[in-house]
Structure 1
Amino acid sequence: MNKKMMLSVLGIVAVSASAALGGTTPGSGVVGSIHDMNQYTGATQDTQGRVCAFCHTPHHALTEGNDYLPLWSHQLPSTTYIPYASATIDATITQATMMDGPSKLCMSCHDGAVAVDTHYATTANKTLTSDAFGAPAVGLEGSLNNDHPIGFVFDQSDGGVANGPVTGNPPVSPSDSTQNNGPSGVHKDNWIRQKAATYIGNTTLTIADRLYATSNGPIMTCATCHDVHNKKNVDVVSATSVNYLLLSPNAGSQICLTCHIK
């Protein structure tokens, strides 16, 4: 029987679930968004009112500690993360490579190890402390075993797991064992769309656009689902929903169904 990757959306969300920030218009940019640290009570605000400075700097950037440091100004965690694992996951994830790309940058705030308002020479103390539903912390104490897997090679064409059609349903039964053996022992999943598929409700983007290139092949990262700068995301905000910076809407589980054929 073909096994399915566990379906969950990695909760890279807001520092606060307040209605004011949670309702920020998707696509309106980082200023005033849930990643504008100057808006949070108790946070050490930037003395010059800068928004980008909490993550980036034009000079004197960090250059060690990750393979992807886009003029980074924020302290990186030294945590070794426990990856998601279950009997239903097809992908191969290793601790050595799961944080390649932007994911470790996300964790530098969201795992609670480094204060979110730390930047430049400022060491602050506003950390995320809860991994409960509605809270923004992910990976507290280094555990990502209850979150959507990241850090795995995505597409079967690159030696990964996704082997489903770009549109429509698989042409063969998932129980057909001749269709389920991928290269190097990697399991093919005919019910996960290949990387050429576009995001539902955001068809200018393909999954391939949001994978991170590594020596092992393009991997899924936090940025495969989320857009931290609030520009490319299209999540729908209403009185009962917030802007989770998603590249497809939460409504109707469109973000999930972009990859998972259900």
Structure 2
Amino acid sequence: MPAEIHVFRCLEDNIGALIHDPQTGACAAIDAPEEAAVEAALAQTGWRLSDILVTHRHADHIQGIPGLKSRHGCRVVAPVKAQTDVPFADTYVREGDSVLVGELNAHVWETPGHCRDHIAYWFAADRALFAGDTLFTLGCGRVMESSYAEMWHSLQRLAALPGEARVYSGHDYVLSNAKFALAVEPGNDALQARQKEAEAAKAEGRFLVPSTIAEEKATNPFLRAGEPAVAEAAGKAGADAETVFTALREWKNRF
């Protein structure tokens, strides 16, 4: 049976997600930005929390865990590189490991860039990627601890997934990301349509999570660093894609 996934807003702009195995009843929260928001999502769906899968150690992704673990007795899975900052986890994982939520299987990918301990969870059978703060709709995470090269490698790995793969990101920055993307590629018709879709979604109280890998490759400037027009806009015409990506990310930091 396919996984059931529910997304919801947490804090100001975080996105929470629950993934539920209808066959066994197991349910995992991807990160726990806000205890009350996760509890509300559980009440709305009627699912029982069995696991929390942590993408990285930043406070706005883990601060709800202690209360949820105390209430539900759920298992907490976290990156081994975040062990010092997430000492309450039950299981620590690294590149190549797998995590089961009931009978749903997630591959663990280390995706450094935003921070050194960052991981993503790829539920291949369900074509669902929980990317945390590595890949956003129309954007990517700020490079805070790792190198631009590491972030570029992480993004390229995600971009190689099937086009239909759904991308569940950790924040809703869609409108600000769209503004920057249009500064890079004002003539991108798919991007213009995506901005209109994002504006309509906001007016209706929705957000564009999940996206898909195909949509991101068509509209996200950070996945389009190999396009000549993007390189030219970044002032790096003729440069390799990694150099263009670095220039784009630095431009976005100032935008």
Of Structure 1 and Structure 2, the greater helix share is in 2
TM-score (norm 1): 0.26
Higher relative contact order (CA 8 A, sep 6+): 1
Of Structure 1 and Structure 2, the greater strand share is in 2
